[in-house]
């Protein structure tokens, strides 16, 4: 095995290993990402379930509160319309207020029977108090309005008389001395004459208990107000810890009602809290729900192991698949490497050949230019000598004819030299055109006059179809040379008594010139080569020429931004088409634009 083959084998092996490592990394990353996403999705779903239970809890609580508030509002309106109570409030006969209200509120203050558990329907109040026009509590003369301590009565008074029904919560000990929370509903009492709020009735109830949606997972709920939390099944230390956590979250500038995670008695819990009495003048109270996360974490741990096990199996399977595909994919790469090396070698050879060809073309162009320059002076001297001989007397008639023929050949040779010089300048990129407006019709007519003056054109018939004022963008010297070559070919390759047809038309921004002649056509196998230099079709060897006219004409047309091509050549007609750019009006483009 040579060094190149060994290097190729080593490179393919490296590629195969890199491909295997890349595929393993991709599979590992996707597996790990899937595990993380699955775990996070499970945690988010569990949190969403807990949030839904909390929302259901609050929804049930709010529905019950709305029902009870509506019932209390109806009772308060009836109470305010009572003549004795209304007179006591408006006439400031406050000593008659509570005795008058006792009969109206007796059913609210009676204790519920043991089988009466619907607080909404029974509306059993624990206490009630009236607020005067200044919002101060009017102290009842006895205990018929429910027993309250003086500091508890003081907390019934809001900052102002409530214009609407407002809710508050009062934390106080019950009859047995256990801490409890009463829900207060403050209902405004309006004057029947002015509809102004003249007093308020504050009723205290046992807080509405929502449906236990979360009892199956150990959810506990309570009320936090005035810095005190009433939460069953937790000791004082746990309640203090929960209260501190909620207060810290609310004190945070970015904090708001929501959820937080804390550890209570060594067990992680998730807390949800939301205000119960928004837009109330009473101190804010919050519904606090506590969810233990031990069952959820245990379930997540089991799910994590299941996901890890499935991920491990997928990872092993992925590694095996990666190994298989890396070997399969490396085979085409190996073949591609071999082909690439062969193509690289061929490209190097082709580039070397192109370089050689380019150098040969440059040498040929330099040779053509140098030879043309070197030939101009000898031809000029030769023609001058022949002209001198032709002017002498004393030679036989045959000698004069031979000298005339030689002078004609020097002119032909001069034409060849000038064409070679022009082609050399174009090959070197040194020919620059100065575009002006050229009247194509006038140019063709001038050359047709010259064509008709030639002896061998006397029997040719000319057909022209050229519109007036047909103008192209070009340089008159070189466009004239194109027209001359096309007409000269149509003359030389025509048959006796034949026809030359010349037509031109403008299409958009182009002008097309067509020159057609009768006579023998160009053989089909020769047609692809007629624009090559020094190429002459087999049928034209008996016609004078040097094989440069069509090549020179096409290069000049291309330099003008157009194209020259053979349209057809059959037994009847041979037709060429030259495309030029139409001249732009003088107002749009100044003359003398160089390309």
pLDDT tens digits for range 52-70 = 776 776 677 677 767 877 7
pLDDT value at residue 574: 92
**Tokens read off for 466:** 């050229």
pLDDT value at residue 153: 86
- Percent residues over pLDDT 90 in the chain: 6
Higher local confidence (pLDDT), 543 or 189: 189
pLDDT value at residue 121: 45
Residue 126 · residue 204 · CB < 8 Å: yes
Instruction: Give me the mean pLDDT over the 16-43 stretch.
Output: 74
Confidence of residue 119 (pLDDT cuts 50, 70, 90): very low
Most confident of 228-242, 412-426, 437-451: 437-451
pLDDT at 369 over 60: no
Exposed e or buried b for every residue in 483-517, given b needs 16+ CB within 10 A?
Answer: bbbbbbbbbbbbeeebbbbbbbebeeeebebbbbb
pLDDT value at residue 80: 64
pLDDT at 117 over 60: no
Please identify which residue in the block is written with the tokens 């003056």.
Answer: 453
pLDDT at 144 over 90: no
pLDDT at 591 over 60: no
pLDDT at 388 over 90: no
Instruction: Give me the mean pLDDT over the 385-412 stretch.
Output: 73
Q: Using CA atoms, how far apart are residues 53 and 216, in angstroms rounded to an integer?
A: 11
Q: Using CA atoms, how far apart are residues 514 and 470, in angstroms rounded to an integer?
A: 14
pLDDT value at residue 58: 67
Instruction: Give me the mean pLDDT over the 214-223 stretch.
Output: 69
Instruction: Give me the mean pLDDT over the 264-273 stretch.
Output: 81
Residue 500 · residue 463 · CB < 8 Å: yes
pLDDT value at residue 517: 92
- CATH class, 432-594 region: alpha beta
Instruction: Give me the mean pLDDT over the 408-432 stretch.
Output: 67
**Is the pTM higher than 0.85?**
no
pLDDT value at residue 454: 74
Give 522-579 pLDDT, tens digit per residue. Answer: 888 888 888 887 777 654 556 666 677 788 889 889 988 899 999 998 878 999 999 9
- To the nearest whole number, what is the mean pLDDT of the chain? 77
Q: Using CA atoms, how far apart are residues 222 and 287, in angstroms rounded to an integer?
A: 6
pLDDT value at residue 368: 58
pLDDT value at residue 70: 78
Span(s) in the chain for CATH 3.30.565.10: 432-594
Q: Using CA atoms, how far apart are residues 415 and 484, in angstroms rounded to an integer?
A: 13
Q: Using CA atoms, how far apart are residues 78 and 99, in angstroms rounded to an integer?
A: 16
CA angle 345, 348, 352 (to 5 degrees): 145
Residue 202, beta-bridge partner list? 129, 186
Q: Using CA atoms, how far apart are residues 45 and 445, in angstroms rounded to an integer?
A: 93
Exposed e or buried b for every residue in 372-385, given b needs 16+ CB within 10 A?
Answer: beebeeebeeebee
Among 296, 289, 123, smallest CA distance to 211 is for 289
pLDDT value at residue 592: 53
- Percent residues over pLDDT 70 in the chain: 75
Higher local confidence (pLDDT), 488 or 62: 488
pLDDT at 187 over 90: no
pLDDT at 594 over 60: no
Give 271-300 pLDDT, tens digit per residue. Answer: 888 888 888 888 888 888 887 877 777 777
Most confident of 346-355, 378-387, 435-444, 584-593: 435-444
pLDDT value at residue 115: 45
């Amino acid at each position: 095995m040579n060094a190149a083959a060994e290097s190729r084998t080593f490179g393919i092996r490296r590629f195969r290993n890199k491909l295997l490592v890349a595929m393993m990394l991709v599979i590992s990353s996707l597996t790990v990402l899937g595990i993380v996403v699955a775990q996070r999705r499970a945690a988010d779903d569990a949190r969403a379930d807990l949030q839904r239970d909390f929302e259901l809890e609050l929804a049930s609580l709010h529905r019950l509160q709305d029902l009870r508030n509506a019932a209390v509002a109806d009772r308060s309106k009836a109470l305010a319309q009572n003549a004795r109570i209304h007179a006591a409030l408006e006439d400031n006969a406050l000593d008659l207020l509570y005795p008058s209200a006792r009969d109206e509120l007796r059913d609210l203050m009676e204790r519920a029977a043991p089988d009466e558990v619907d607080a909404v329907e029974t509306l059993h109040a624990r206490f009630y108090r009236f607020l005067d026009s200044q919002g101060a509590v009017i102290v009842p003369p006895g205990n018929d309005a429910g027993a309250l301590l003086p500091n508890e009565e003081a907390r019934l008074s809001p900052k102002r008389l409530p214009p609407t029904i407002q809710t508050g919560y009062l934390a106080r000990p019950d009859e047995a001395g256990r801490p409890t929370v009463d829900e207060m509903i403050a209902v405004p009492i309006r004057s029947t004459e002015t509809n102004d709020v003249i007093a308020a009735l504050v009723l205290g109830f046992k807080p509405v208990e929502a449906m236990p949606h979360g009892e199956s997972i150990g959810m506990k709920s309570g009320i936090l107000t005035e810095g005190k939390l009433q939460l069953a099944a937790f000791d004082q230390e746990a309640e203090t810890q929960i209260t501190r956590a909620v207060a810290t979250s609310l004190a945070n500038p970015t904090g708001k009602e929501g959820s937080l995670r804390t550890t209570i008695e060594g067990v992680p819990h998730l807390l949800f809290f939301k205000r119960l009495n928004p837009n109330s003048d009473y101190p804010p109270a919050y519904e606090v729900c506590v969810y233990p996360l031990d069952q959820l974490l245990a379930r997540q741990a089991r799910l994590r192991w299941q996901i890890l096990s499935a991920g491990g199996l997928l990872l092993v399977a992925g590694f095996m698949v990666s190994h298989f595909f890396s070997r399969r994919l490396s085979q085409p790469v190996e073949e591609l490497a071999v082909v690439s090396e062969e193509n690289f070698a061929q490209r190097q050879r082709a580039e070397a050949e192109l370089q050689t060809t380019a150098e040969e073309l440059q040498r040929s162009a330099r040779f053509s230019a140098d030879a043309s320059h070197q030939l101009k002076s000898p031809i000029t001297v030769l023609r001058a000598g022949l002209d001198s001989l032709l002017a002498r007397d004393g030679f036989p008639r045959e000698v004069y004819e031979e000298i005339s023929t030689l002078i004609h050949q020097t002119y032909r040779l001069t034409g060849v030299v000038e064409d070679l010089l022009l082609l050399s300048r174009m090959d070197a990129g040194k020919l620059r055109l100065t575009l002006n407006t050229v009247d194509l019709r006038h140019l063709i007519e001038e050359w047709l006059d010259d064509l008709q003056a030639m002896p061998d054109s006397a029997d040719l018939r000319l057909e022209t179809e050229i519109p007036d004022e047909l103008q192209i963008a070009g340089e008159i010297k070189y466009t004239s040379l194109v027209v001359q070559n096309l007409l000269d070919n149509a003359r030389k390759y025509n048959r006796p008594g034949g026809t030359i047809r010349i037509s031109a038309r403008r299409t958009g921004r182009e002008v097309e010139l067509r020159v057609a002649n009768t006579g023998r056509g160009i053989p089909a196998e020769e047609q692809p080569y007629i624009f090559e230099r020094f190429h002459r079709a087999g049928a034209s060897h008996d016609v004078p020429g040097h094989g440069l006219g069509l090549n020179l004409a096409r290069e000049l047309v291309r330099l003008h931004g157009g194209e020259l091509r053979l349209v057809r050549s059959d037994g009847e007609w041979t037709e060429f088409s030259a495309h030029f750019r139409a001249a732009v009006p003088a107002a749009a483009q100044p003359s003398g634009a160089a390309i």
